[in-house]
Structure 1
């Protein structure tokens, strides 16, 4: 028995070392775009670009490694896209705060996450979520993932009259994505192992051969280890407290709490971590990991770290243990030296994976009790609002508030608990803070 088999015991979860590593590679290929997207937004917030790149990758490496070795979840952790956009284009934009003060707010929110975790309030919240709503969260995330995939490859596009419409299917990138959907779907139907990574590599190579994706120019290998020297320990905690960024800290906390919670529930369901009683194995360690990761992220110079939706690609490929996460972390470490090569994997090559994973997560819809309208309406609002508002946490809010509201109005008070009521009130407050 190899060292990796002793450490992670993949056989106990019906997996193998090879399959776990392949799953990690698949998740990495689906996640690697963040190396370019997140630092770009951080640079728009005023951060030095090179340090933003280094801090983003180092946060991902450290947090994902801990998630794999300690929490043993097959999930990648990195600075979140939505929260980074909020940080760059609101906190450091219209709100008028410096990126140092913004990082101070991120660090404080990480402390709040940790306190909520060690006091088991976060676990209490997750365990209080009804199973029907948990299934709806999985389905909603699947719809969200598929929508992201369709948007990134151009299958759907923005439209001023109808908001979204059919994209330009004559676009070479969109056509390659459509081919990728059928290629990966066909391979999966034939039960070919590594179908997703095969599809990503084939479409990437096809794009290069056809001239759709250019080869990287200039130096493709860095001989020195990139470090976030200009952003390390630059967070201004005192400034964040002095300016009273209560609403911003509250928003950071709420979004990450329920965004991360939604991803963990969704991926845990697909990976077989949810027991029959609804409890999730190793959840405490996973939540502590992302809490500590957020504080480390602020210290290094990046935004709130969260479990990544794209990890669903690796879970769908068979990832069931922390070895998947360790593989992701190792590949991101290599990416520090080969970032130009990582950039060769275009969005249109990973988009088919997101769409197919979304379809797989949609299977849980059959487990929702739609015949009970007090379940059907909250479940529907949870599912539909995630892709339409482009926000997992908002979908959570609609689901929780409507669940409590319709159960109370129909006199079904036995289906409610104090935790659900408190969560619904928190979301109402959060929505109120967004009012002009």
Structure 2
């Protein structure tokens, strides 16, 4: 029976062909879930500020993550988790519903329309054409930039790096329990990684959480009784509540453009970076099944608008599972199953605090930084756009913005240095689109 099950998994995911094992994929899927699970609590809190009932926001977040991650695993065969995207949820709540004062139902209508646009760009292969037009140097720099971005998120979540009005960022109070525990977890994980211990990242997360419980920084589990008495959060208040005609009526062109352009390149940059790190990208920069991964993202965005949450996207934190060896969609299926369990065990999912997952993000950032060796810094027309891509992702706290600065600088530096032929029409179209997007955001 076990042999039969292994055969089915092999046919579905081609695990041996990709140099992995079932055990490794399961471990990678668990690690990814632990790294991504914070979204179950963060996203509903943000959406609640837009007026969406929090219980329904919890349900829509989990259902959207479960369905799209499962599709990513079973159909696209990618070891990548998909869930409501950070940044876009803030834009949804604090700009569309906050500054503009529009109802959340109208905002969901805008999410639906942007999802349809994503899908059209995907089925017409426009997205694939755009990705193929990205020079290899920029593709490599995207990996490095995402690594720095992930590390910055981890350091910020741990309280190791904090904001400062004079210097923007500075060192946090390392005498406090959370930053101190995060530093302990970071050192532990780094040592385990250096000694090639399998499951090092997951072990680091669990040990840090355990230490947090021991010193009182993390609440102890209250027992199964509290879990079993927990009522499943209901989708009813948000299910099918989107207002598509309202979104059209308000003429939300700038909002639709922002939703579309940011998610297009945020998701694209994440998939390129994760695919290269997982060894799924060939020498020419092509990624097998990328079209299916992009369709999954598009369908997921449409689905999220029906469920009642903001735009979904591929999660950079999937790099934690990839670092553990995940190479196939089986890891994503495991992550999706755990998301589904989270619906029942929602009170316990919160026991893993941000400072415990922070070391994993920093370690993954260091691993992705290694890709910098593939960037050609001997040619300044290649080096400068790569540098802008890398440095602007963490400094703007946006993968898409880093992508935009890289494209714009590549097009102009190449052209103004007499090498205009190296800039394809697609590259110019993307650069102009980013210039337009940056201009819209400034108003």
TM interval, shorter chain, is: over 0.9
Aligned-pair CA distance for 1:250: 0.4
Task: String of CA shifts for 1:279-323, please: whole Å, max 9, x gaps.
Answer: 111000000000000000000000101000110000010000000
- Residue 431, structure 1, aligned to residue 441, structure 2: no
Instruction: Tell me how far apart the structure 2 counterparts of residues 245 and 234 of structure 1 sit (CA, whole Å).
Output: 18
Instruction: Tell me how far apart the structure 2 counterparts of residues 309 and 130 of structure 1 sit (CA, whole Å).
Output: 21
Alignment of 1:292-307 (within 5 A): 292-307=299-314
More displaced 10-residue stretch of structure 1: 129-138 or 180-189? 180-189
Aligned-pair CA distance for 1:216: 4.9
Match of 1:368 among 355, 372, 375: 375
Match of 1:179 among 172, 176, 184: 184
SS of the residue corresponding to residue 12 of structure 1 reads: coil
SS of the residue corresponding to residue 405 of structure 2 reads: helix
Aligned residues: 436
Alignment of 1:277-316 (within 5 A): 277-316=284-323
Instruction: Tell me how far apart the structure 2 counterparts of residues 410 and 186 of structure 1 sit (CA, whole Å).
Output: 46
Instruction: Tell me how far apart the structure 1 counterparts of residues 128 and 230 of structure 2 sit (CA, whole Å).
Output: 44
The residue number in structure 1 matching 2:250 is: 243
Aligned-pair CA distance for 1:276: 1.3
Match of 1:58 among 56, 63, 69: 63
The residue number in structure 1 matching 2:166 is: 161
Aligned-pair CA distance for 1:399: 0.3
SS of the residue corresponding to residue 157 of structure 1 reads: strand
The residue number in structure 2 matching 1:227 is: 234
SS of the residue corresponding to residue 165 of structure 1 reads: strand
Q: 1:80, 1:308 within 8 Å by CA — same for their partners in 2?
A: yes
Match of 1:394 among 392, 397, 401: 401
TM-score normalized by the length of structure 2? 0.97
Q: 1:232, 1:301 within 8 Å by CA — same for their partners in 2?
A: yes
Instruction: Tell me how far apart the structure 2 counterparts of residues 86 and 221 of structure 1 sit (CA, whole Å).
Output: 35
Task: String of CA shifts for 1:69-116, please: whole Å, max 9, x gaps.
Answer: 000000000000110000000000011111000000000000000000
The residue number in structure 2 matching 1:421 is: 428
Aligned-pair CA distance for 1:4: 2.1
Alignment of 1:95-114 (within 5 A): 95-114=100-119
Change (3 A) 1:67 1:309: same
Q: 1:401, 1:428 within 8 Å by CA — same for their partners in 2?
A: yes
SS of the residue corresponding to residue 166 of structure 2 reads: coil
Instruction: Tell me how far apart the structure 2 counterparts of residues 374 and 316 of structure 1 sit (CA, whole Å).
Output: 32
SS of the residue corresponding to residue 11 of structure 1 reads: coil
Aligned-pair CA distance for 1:5: 2.9
The residue number in structure 1 matching 2:45 is: 40
CA-based RMSD of the aligned residues comes to: 1.0
Match of 1:260 among 267, 286, 304: 267
Instruction: Tell me how far apart the structure 2 counterparts of residues 206 and 155 of structure 1 sit (CA, whole Å).
Output: 17
Q: 1:222, 1:337 within 8 Å by CA — same for their partners in 2?
A: no
Instruction: Tell me how far apart the structure 2 counterparts of residues 283 and 293 of structure 1 sit (CA, whole Å).
Output: 15
Structure 1: gaps spanning 5 or more residues: none
Instruction: Tell me how far apart the structure 2 counterparts of residues 223 and 4 of structure 1 sit (CA, whole Å).
Output: 34
Instruction: Tell me how far apart the structure 1 counterparts of residues 428 and 329 of structure 2 sit (CA, whole Å).
Output: 34
The residue number in structure 2 matching 1:7 is: 12
